[in-house]
Structure 1
Amino acid sequence: MTILRDFSQAAKKFGLALTLASSFAIAATSGAKAQDTPDLSGVTLTVGTPNKTGLHRQLIAAGEVDNLPYKINWADFDSTPPLVEALRAGHVDIAAGGDTGVLAAIANGVKVTIVAATWERKESGSAVLVRGDSDLKTVADLKGRKVALPYFTKQHYQFATALQQAGLPFDPKLILNLNTTDGLSALVNSQVDAFVVWDPNTAIAQQQHGARILQPLGRVIDTAGVVYVPTSSLEDPARKAALKDITARIVRAQAWVNAHPAEWAQQVSKLSKISLEAAHLQASRSRVEHAPATDPQALAGWQKQVTYFHEGGQFRKDFKVEDYVARDFGEVIEAENKKLAKTN
């Protein structure tokens, strides 16, 4: 009996020791997790948008800015080049839009990192516009004509490719570097014969000014758009965590836009102050999907652009685009895409 009693007491002590050890282990693990999770309450992210239907409106319309663990500001621009300049100056933390402006910035020494690729799965409103009464029928008919174009946008590269296919040179004396507002005004007032632009500007020009699409540029060449951040932001654990969080929200917001075109058009019209007809037209011809920045097809397209602009003397340096992508953000995008696939 004494032996059994001693054994029982020893077992109880051993069990208590195991319980205490287990408790200490759980506490240590919880403490480590707490240390690994940065406090985001002191982080403020400024989201840059280069058009009237980008991240700013998408995140709001999809309800992805509710109950954020960090603060958020908005910065809206006319196109990607001025947005990238704001990013260079430290006034923008994350943005999405055309790839050409970002690649041009990298070529000029701006420290930018691409965190995601965006693919347009429909025709979109990227186009060469002419007036409704214009006699122009093809891109080849633009020979000797004046064209308005915001330089170093995706449409710059697409239009240059369209000219190349038509056997025409890219002549800076005829192809004028105008922003979207001035470009539309120049077209309407017959100061130029064509205007190269994107939605919702294309839809507005069609619906409100009777413009006609001469050439849809998505049919000429398709390259992936980009989501990008200042490289320095990835060196701050808290800011990087916030950027990964909002990247996931960006993917979800775009999925919401894809699934709710009518409601999205209503929101665009309200938030961006454009006509409902133009908003519906824009929504009807766009469906964007996100992919990791390491997507081979995206990388190949971007690299081809770098070669084109460098050989043409418009990029100061040649570089490998894969050296400027954040590989670990791909895990965030793939995880969100898998979740979305299960719910669809």
Structure 2
Amino acid sequence: MPVPLLFRPALAALLLITALAACGDGKQAATLAAGAPLPTTVPKGTTLRVGDPVTKVALQLSGELDAFSFDIEWANISGGPQTSEAFRADALDVGAVADIPAIHATWTGLPVKIVASKFRKDPLAHPVYELGIAPGAGVQTLADLRGKKIAYSPGQAQGALVLRVLKKAGLTKKDVTLVELPSTGDVYPNALAARQVDVAPLGGVYIRRYLAKFGKDGAATIRHGLRDDPGHLYVRTSTLQDPAKAAAIREYVAAWARASVWAYEHPKEWIDGYYVKDQGLSAADGQYLVDLAGEPDLPADWSDAIARHQETVEILAAETGNPVLNARDLYDLRFQSVEADAIKDGVR
């Protein structure tokens, strides 16, 4: 029921008081209402548990790792399944993922909110994934996917990409054979090389390595021509009800944005510090990945991103039988300008 005009000022005041209670004497208010302004001061003694290993390294290299006004417990967790499991165990506050985990978490009864979004400028020229083609599979265009065996990982970005690619090609799951495989490590490249599958989405350095290792045998990759660039920070909805945690998350989102830009603007330091020393890759692999990613885009307006997310929701819902969600409900719009403001102002 809509709030009568007479009571709206009182309601707004109540929400503001709830938020300000978290910023006053360090005592935590009982609950931060969903519509209340984000607190900007983190109470003493606050700890944020973060699963974002890439940003941890970027913050260390940029000199910002020890500049937070609160303590961070870093977890070596990445990807939707691990992050959602940690959320359910109350072992994590913030996770770094693509666009699919928030959808599946909601469908499985885990209320979450996206609090930060990052994309790639010129995303079609800098895709996250390419379609790896097995030697002899005879796939040169998306139309050639009909009748092929395609690696599929439900609940992850690669799996959603496969469904979107099929839709673009005018195909359905009935026109292909989806082979469920985890998308971790060398699983997809090895499955392609062994002809266990004909097609698999490959990302990052695995594109380069697959072609280098099996190109002589006829292995190839093709571009899918779709945007596949979303990267998000998401949290449990219940975590944002804690004013201290909400304020800490706001501060972390700002630092996350600055770290993303820092890595792009300092490619040599990023390649050496992250790809070579942290990940054990060669400098050539690091340069390849930097070139592949291109410049980050951290928009102050999430409208277009939400619209694209809605399309993904509807594709997944149709294929899985889950209800269609309103993608806007997956986002906490109070954080919408935090990234852009942090980059523009360079302030905490």
**TM-score interval, smaller chain:** 0.7 to 0.9
- Give the aligned partner of residue 95 of structure 2: 95
1:19-34 equivalences in 2 (<5 Å): none
- Give the aligned partner of residue 239 of structure 2: 233
* CA–CA distance in structure 2, aligned partners of residues 201 and 232 of structure 1: 37
Q: Say what the alpha-carbon RMSD is for the aligned residues.
A: 2.8
- Give the aligned partner of residue 140 of structure 2: 137
Look up the equivalent residue of 2:87 and give its one-letter code: L
> Structure 1 150/202 Cα, relative in aligned 2: closer, same or farther at 3 Å?
farther
Look up the equivalent residue of 2:140 and give its one-letter code: K
Alignment counterpart, residue 246 of structure 1, candidates 235, 244, 252: 252
Bigger shift: residues 183-192 or 300-309: 183-192
* CA–CA distance in structure 2, aligned partners of residues 142 and 244 of structure 1: 44
Alignment counterpart, residue 168 of structure 1, candidates 171, 176, 191: 171
Q: Does 1:61 align with 2:36?
A: no
- Contact 2:164–2:315 (8 Å) recurs in 1: no
**Number of residue pairs aligned between Structure 1 and Structure 2:** 303
Q: 1:136 is paired with a residue of what secondary structure?
A: coil
Normalized per residue, the structure richer in helix is: 1
Look up the equivalent residue of 1:97 and give its one-letter code: V
> Structure 1 82/203 Cα, relative in aligned 2: closer, same or farther at 3 Å?
farther
Alignment counterpart, residue 297 of structure 2, candidates 286, 289, 292: 289
Q: Does 1:197 align with 2:202?
A: yes
- Contact 2:78–2:96 (8 Å) recurs in 1: no
- Contact 2:317–2:324 (8 Å) recurs in 1: yes
Alignment counterpart, residue 301 of structure 1, candidates 290, 308, 331: 308
Look up the equivalent residue of 1:258 and give its one-letter code: Y
Q: What 5-or-longer segments of structure 2 have no aligned partner?
A: 1-22, 27-38
- Contact 1:47–1:56 (8 Å) recurs in 2: no
> Structure 1 127/40 Cα, relative in aligned 2: closer, same or farther at 3 Å?
farther
Q: 1:119 is paired with a residue of what secondary structure?
A: strand
Aligned-pair identity (%):
24
Cα offsets for 1:106-141 (capped at 9, x unmatched): 222211111122111241331111246764322332
- Give the aligned partner of residue 155 of structure 2: 152
How much has 1:278 moved relative to structure 2? 1.9
> Structure 1 222/193 Cα, relative in aligned 2: closer, same or farther at 3 Å?
closer
* CA–CA distance in structure 2, aligned partners of residues 74 and 328 of structure 1: 25
* CA–CA distance in structure 2, aligned partners of residues 203 and 96 of structure 1: 24
- Give the aligned partner of residue 264 of structure 2: 258
> Structure 1 190/324 Cα, relative in aligned 2: closer, same or farther at 3 Å?
closer
Q: Does 1:184 align with 2:183?
A: no
- Give the aligned partner of residue 29 of structure 2: none
Bigger shift: residues 232-241 or 136-145: 136-145
- Give the aligned partner of residue 47 of structure 2: 43
- Contact 1:125–1:216 (8 Å) recurs in 2: no
Look up the equivalent residue of 1:166 and give its one-letter code: A
> Structure 1 40/33 Cα, relative in aligned 2: closer, same or farther at 3 Å?
closer
Q: 2:100 is paired with a residue of what secondary structure?
A: helix
Q: What 5-or-longer segments of structure 1 have no aligned partner?
A: 1-31
TM-score by length of 1: 0.77
